[in-house]
A and B are shown apart, each in its own frame.
Chain A
Amino acid sequence: MQDVQDPLIAAEVWLAEGRGVALATVIETWGSAPRPVGSHLVVDSDGNFLGSVSGGCVEGAVITEAAEVIASREPRMLEFGVADETAWRVGLSCGGRIRVQLERIGG
């Protein structure tokens, strides 16, 4: 559990180093989704990240959004899916849909 590859352990280390950190959490999935509900990705203000919310399909977009969440301190809800082309430029090739909640850690 002292695993430095663990996103939540890493987040605490990053905070202690004075970095801004955002937490992404899969809160809902429809159809085939690569990572289950509850999965985490943590991102720092330089775009370093650990963990995953998909099989690598939407992480890029989450990291971009995370920088804004760290700066604004406002939580955000993101939705990704191939069927939904309205809001996001990336999608899940597996055909599933996921909802990801993004929040800054440490207020």
Chain B
Amino acid sequence: MKREVLHAINRARVNRKAVATLTGPAGETDRVFHENDLPDGPLGEALARAFRTGKPGPVELESGNAFVNVYLPPVRIVVIGAVHISQALAPMARIAGYDLSVIDPRTAFATPERFDGVDLRADWPEDVLAERPLDAHTALAALTHDPKIDDFPLSAALSAGCFYVGALGSRKTHVKRVERLLALGHTESEIARISAPIGLDIGAATPAEIAVAVLGDIIAAYRRRGLASPAGDGA
């Protein structure tokens, strides 16, 4: 492996960009690929599949058998709302191995006492997300019910192609939310990606149970991404 190849892999990973490599028939890993710049033919198809599924695998080239490795950024969950559900979701996400941040401008909710050891930002989502943008490897869960707080990050999540976008609220609340997102220029098919009411339908009643439903929903979306609809995890 060339030193530049190693450097390119690490640089992409540090910047939360997906990256893939090709190990040729001679056993040298000498090529690096990014998601938005794929070659044609069987190699391009193998790379696209690897980016979609996160799974490395073999590829047959004219020159012989080769190997595609792929490095996807770690999954991150961004929660809007320092609410009771988020207090339960934060430790569950940690156990499941996902990074999690909580954003809520309401300083009465976003207190370190309520979120010990959690990456918590008591600022408006507009400001926090400008600093640390959403991406395709991030799940967004909007849990405040408040359009003033939830709408911007929901819209940003659809634009960024977050692999999961969920919003808490009744079906009635969601109908109004859909109207506002249409007015912001999102298409109906984009908006249909929002999981609302949020979470798997397991009859969850308590905040902790709803947190289980939300985490399960996120895991299902992540593990099945791109398998049903190949473009699902794209831009």
Given A37-B55, A106-B3: A9 in contact with B29 (beta carbons within 8 A): no
Interface residues of A (CB under 8 A from B): 1-2, 8-9, 11-12, 15, 23, 25, 27-28, 37-38, 75-77, 101-107
The distance in angstroms between the C-alpha atoms of A82 and B69, with both chains bound, is 26
- When distances are taken between beta carbons in the complex, the residues of chain A under 8 Å from B10 are 8-9, 12
> Does any Cβ of A come within 8 Å of B235's Cβ?
no
Q: What's the nearest-Cβ distance from chain A to residue B4, in Å? A: 9
The distance in angstroms between the C-alpha atoms of A27 and B21, with both chains bound, is 12
The distance in angstroms between the C-alpha atoms of A104 and B58, with both chains bound, is 21
Contact with A along B13-34 (1 / 0, CB 8 A): 1100000000100111100000
- When distances are taken between beta carbons in the complex, the residues of chain B under 8 Å from A38 are 55-56, 69-70
Candidates B13, B23, B58; contact of A25 at CB < 8 Å: B23
Interface residues of B (CB under 8 A from A): 1-3, 6-7, 9-10, 13-14, 23, 26-29, 55-58, 67, 69-70, 74
Given A1-B14, A11-B6: A101 in contact with B1 (beta carbons within 8 A): no
The distance in angstroms between the C-alpha atoms of A107 and B30, with both chains bound, is 10
- When distances are taken between beta carbons in the complex, the residues of chain A under 8 Å from B58 are 27-28
Q: What's the nearest-Cβ distance from chain A to residue B52, in Å? A: 15
The answer on a CB contact under 8 Å between A12 and B6 is: yes
Nearest neighbor of A37 in chain B, beta-carbon distance: B56
- When distances are taken between beta carbons in the complex, the residues of chain A under 8 Å from B3 are 15, 105-107
- When distances are taken between beta carbons in the complex, the residues of chain A under 8 Å from B6 are 8, 11-12, 15, 23, 105-106
The answer on a CB contact under 8 Å between A103 and B57 is: no
The answer on a CB contact under 8 Å between A107 and B2 is: yes
- When distances are taken between beta carbons in the complex, the residues of chain B under 8 Å from A11 are 6
Nearest neighbor of B16 in chain A, beta-carbon distance: A1
- When distances are taken between beta carbons in the complex, the residues of chain B under 8 Å from A101 are 23, 27, 67
The distance in angstroms between the C-alpha atoms of A62 and B58, with both chains bound, is 21
Q: Would you give 26 A-B contacts (Cβ < 8 Å), ordered by A? A: A1-B74, A2-B14, A8-B9, A8-B10, A12-B7, A12-B10, A15-B3, A15-B6, A23-B1, A25-B23, A25-B67, A25-B69, A27-B23, A27-B67, A28-B58, A38-B56, A75-B28, A77-B27, A101-B27, A103-B1, A103-B23, A105-B2, A106-B1, A106-B3, A106-B6, A107-B3
- When distances are taken between beta carbons in the complex, the residues of chain A under 8 Å from B55 are 37-38
- When distances are taken between beta carbons in the complex, the residues of chain A under 8 Å from B14 are 1-2
The distance in angstroms between the C-alpha atoms of A1 and B99, with both chains bound, is 12
The distance in angstroms between the C-alpha atoms of A103 and B6, with both chains bound, is 12
- When distances are taken between beta carbons in the complex, the residues of chain B under 8 Å from A23 are 1, 6, 29
- When distances are taken between beta carbons in the complex, the residues of chain B under 8 Å from A27 are 23, 56, 58, 67
Nearest neighbor of A104 in chain B, beta-carbon distance: B1
Q: What's the nearest-Cβ distance from chain A to residue B22, in Å? A: 12
Given A38-B56, A101-B67, A103-B1: A76 in contact with B27 (beta carbons within 8 A): yes
The distance in angstroms between the C-alpha atoms of A9 and B7, with both chains bound, is 9
Nearest neighbor of A22 in chain B, beta-carbon distance: B1
- When distances are taken between beta carbons in the complex, the residues of chain B under 8 Å from A1 are 13-14, 74
- When distances are taken between beta carbons in the complex, the residues of chain A under 8 Å from B13 are 1, 8
- When distances are taken between beta carbons in the complex, the residues of chain A under 8 Å from B70 are 38
